[in-house]
């Protein structure tokens, strides 16, 4: 979030989960039933409530202090008709799917500073890049012959 233009010097909040001890980056487990994917894999809705996160306004500075916060959000992906295949034998991954549209609505709370924020409805947001599909990597990856 920014005060004024979206530039690092104007950043006033940055919400994300902590990095895990293994190095897994801003990843949290999705509770049962929170992620709904259509049978054809072309549409997905992810909705989670009160996810523990931190607010680190000075991220990515190494000494950026974090304040405990919570985040609730609903996000939707919808596939377009544009197919994608990303295959990288060096990095051992392959993705097959579609370019997509994605929209988000969210709510955050930082109790220690008495701050809360709620986004406009989902329909008012958009992402300029989105994909949806299937991936294999690491030990599950085999190069396309």
Output phi, psi for 122, to 5 deg.
-45, -40
Shortest distance (Å) from residue 55 CB to other proteins: 13
In the three-class reduction of DSSP (H, G, I as helix; E, B as strand; rest coil), residue 22 is classed as coil
- Alpha-carbon distances, residue 71 vs 52, 89, 108 (angstroms): 7, 36, 4
| Distance in Å, CB of 66 to other proteins, minimum | 15
CB distance 106 to 119 below 8 Å: yes
Contact with other proteins (CB under 8 A) among 129, 143, 144, 145: 129
Count of CA atoms in the C-beta half-sphere (13 A) of 122: 13
**Cα torsion angle, 121, 27, 66, 3, sign:** negative
**Segment 102-121, which members bind other proteins (CB under 8 A)?**
102, 104, 106, 114-120
67 forms part of the interface with other proteins (CB under 8 A) = no
6 binds other proteins (CB under 8 A): yes
**Residues interacting with other proteins, by CB under 8 A?**
1-3, 6, 12, 16-17, 19-20, 22-30, 34-35, 37, 41, 44, 46, 48, 51, 53, 60, 71, 73, 75, 77, 84, 86, 88, 91, 93, 95, 97, 100, 102, 104, 106, 114-120, 124-140
């Amino acid at each position: 979030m920014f005060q004024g233009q979206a530039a690092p010097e104007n950043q006033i909040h940055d919400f994300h989960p902590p990095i895990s001890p293994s190095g897994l980056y801003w990843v949290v487990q999705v509770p049962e039933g929170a992620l709904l994917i259509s049978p054809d894999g072309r549409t997905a809705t992810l909705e989670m409530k009160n996810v523990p996160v931190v607010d680190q306004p000075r991220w990515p500075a190494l000494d950026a202090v974090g304040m405990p916060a919570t985040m609730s959000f609903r996000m939707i992906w919808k596939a377009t008709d544009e197919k994608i295949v990303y295959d990288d034998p060096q990095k051992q991954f392959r993705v097959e799917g579609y370019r997509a549209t994605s929209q988000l609505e969210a709510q955050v709370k930082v109790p220690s500073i008495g701050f809360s924020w709620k986004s406009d409805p989902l329909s008012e947001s958009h992402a300029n890049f989105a994909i949806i599909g299937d991936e294999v990597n690491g030990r599950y990856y085999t190069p396309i012959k």
